Amino acid sequence: SPWKPVLLLLSPPAFSTTCARCAKDRRLRQKRAISERQLTRYFVDQRKVRVVGGQGGGGGHSFYSEPRKVFGGPDGGNGGDGGHVILKADQQMKSLSSVFPFYQGFHGERGGSKNCYGANGAHVYVKVPVGTLVKEDGKVVADLTQHGEEYIAAYGGAGGKGNRFFLSNENRAPKFFTPGEPGQERVLQLELKTAAHAGLVGFPNAGKSSLLRAISRAKPAVAAYPFTTLNPHVGIVHYQDYEQVAVADIPGLIRGAHQNRGLGMAFLKHIERCRFLLYVVDLSVPQPWIQLQDLKYELEAYEKGLSERPCVVIGNKVDLAQSKINLPLLREQVAERVIALSALTGDNLEELLLHLRELYDIYVKTEQSRGQSPVK
C-alpha cells in the first residue's frame, strides 16, 4: 500500500528558558533554621587526632641486563619518601566537626630498575579553623592563627636505598638494599579558641545573643523563655569604610566557672583571643553591678590580667521599667563607660557601634606601634 503522510504534533516543552513567565524558578533556597540543640552536633571545639606519616618506599634491587653486556652492574633506584600529614588553617572552617580521629600520609613507591626512583607519597592536608591550638601531652606545639598557616603534624618516612646506592670500587656488585622507614606517629589534641576582636561576656539570659543578632547577620538562637547558648557564635559588624569588626557571643558564664562548674572551662577559653570585652548586664535585675563584679572575678580567676583588657559595660533591656531605675545606680557603682540599650527594640545601638569602632581603632594603632600587623 502507498505511504500516507502522517502529521506529527509536537507537544510544547515543559518549561521555557526564554519566556520570563514560563521560566523555571532557579532561586536559591533559603537556609533552614537550625535550633541550638541541633547546632551543638555540628560545633566541636575539641578533638583528639592520631596522625601517622606515610611509610617510605623500599629500595630497588636489580642488575642491568642487556644482550652482549653481561656485567651491566646494579641499577636499583631509591624508594620514594612517605607523605606528611599537615594541618592547615582555613577561614572557611568554623568547627572541628569535620576532623576525623585518624589520618595517615600516603606511602612512597618502591624503587625500580634502570635507576628509576620511586615516587614520593602525597601529603595529606587537614583543614582546621583559624584559631586552632595544637597540643601534645598537654604542651602547646603549634598555634594556627592566620589563614593558610600550616603545621606538619607527622613527617613521612624516608625512602630506602637501592643497591645502586651502595656501588663502590670495593663492591662492584652490591646485592643489598634498605627498606623504607616508617612514618612518624603522634597523638595530638586540637583545641579551638574563637578568634574575634570583641567578646560579649555576661551571665545567661543577659541578652548577648539578641544583641549579636541586632548588630550583625549572625543568627544565634533566641527565645522568649530563659535558656543559655550552648556554643559561641561570631558575627561581623560592617562599617561604611569597609572595615569589619568580629564580635563573638561567648556562652553564658555562671558563678564558679573558673572551677569548671557547668561548662566553665569550655566557655572561658574562647575569651582569651578577644582583644577587648563587652560586658553585658541585665538592667532589670536588682543590683546589676553585682553581675559585673562577678564576671570580672571569674575572668581574673581563670587567667590573670584577662579582666584588665579594654572594655565597655552594656546595660541591656533598657526598655523595661525597672531598668530605667537601675541605670543611674549602675553608673554610680562602676568606673567604666556604661552604654544603655535595648537589643529587642534597637534603642541606642548607634552609640554601641561607634564605641565599638573606637575600641577597634585603638587596637589597630596599638598593634601598628608595636610593629605587628593587626588581625583583620
Which of 8-22, 119-133, 202-216, 275-289 bottoms out in mean pLDDT, i.e. has the lowest? 8-22
Mean pLDDT of the 328-338 span: 86
Residue 59, judged by CB atoms within 10 A of its CB (0-12, 13-18, 19+), counts as buried
User: Which residue, among 240, 248, 180, 181, has the nearest Cα to 220 in the 3D structure?
Assistant: 248
Query: Rounded to two decimals, what is the model's pTM?
Result: 0.65
Q: In what order do the strands lie in the sheet with 311-316?
A: 233-238, 244-249, 198-201, 276-282, 311-316, 338-340
Q: What is the pLDDT of residues 123-149, one digit of tens each?
A: 999 999 888 889 999 899 998 888 899
How far is Cα 40 from Cα 97, in angstroms, rounded to an integer? Answer: 10
**Secondary structure in 3-state letters for the chain:** CCCCCCCCCCCCCCCCCCCCCCCCCCCCCCCCCCCHHHHCCCCCCEEEEEEECCCCCCCCCCECCECCECCCCECCCCCCCCCCEEEEEECCCCCCCCCCCEEECCCCCCCCCCCCCCCCCCCEEEEEECCEEEEECCEEEEEECCCCCEEEEECCCCCCCCCCCCCCCCCCCCCCCCCCCCCCEEEEEEEECCCCCEEEECCCCCCHHHHHHHHCCCCCCCCCCCCCCCCCEEEEEECCCCCEEEEEECCCCCCCHHHCCCCHHHHHHHHCCCCEEEEEEECCCCCCHHHHHHHHHHHHHHCCCHHHCCEEEEEECCCCHHHHHHHHHHHHHCCCCEEECCCCCCCCHHHHHHHHHHHHHHHHHHHHHCCCCCCC
- The answer to whether 201 touches 279, Cβ cutoff 8 Å, is yes
CATH superfamily membership of 196-368: P-loop containing nucleotide triphosphate hydrolases (3.40.50.300)
Q: What is the pLDDT of residue 181?
A: 92
Q: What is the pLDDT of residues 227-264, one digit of tens each?
A: 566 567 778 888 888 888 888 887 766 555 545 454 55
CB atoms within 10 A of CB 91: 12
The cell numbers describing 17, all together, are 528558558
Q: What is the pLDDT of residue 54?
A: 93
Which residues of the chain are in CATH 3.40.50.300 domains?
A: 196-368
Parallel/antiparallel/unpaired status of strands 150-154 and 85-90: antiparallel
Q: What is the pLDDT of residue 221?
A: 64
Mean pLDDT of the 321-346 span: 85
Task: Report domain 43-194's class.
Answer: mainly beta
The cell numbers describing 43, all together, are 560545633
Percent of the chain with pLDDT over 70: 81
CA dihedral over 170, 173, 176, 182, signed as positive or negative: positive
Which residues of the chain are in CATH 2.70.210.12 domains?
A: 43-194
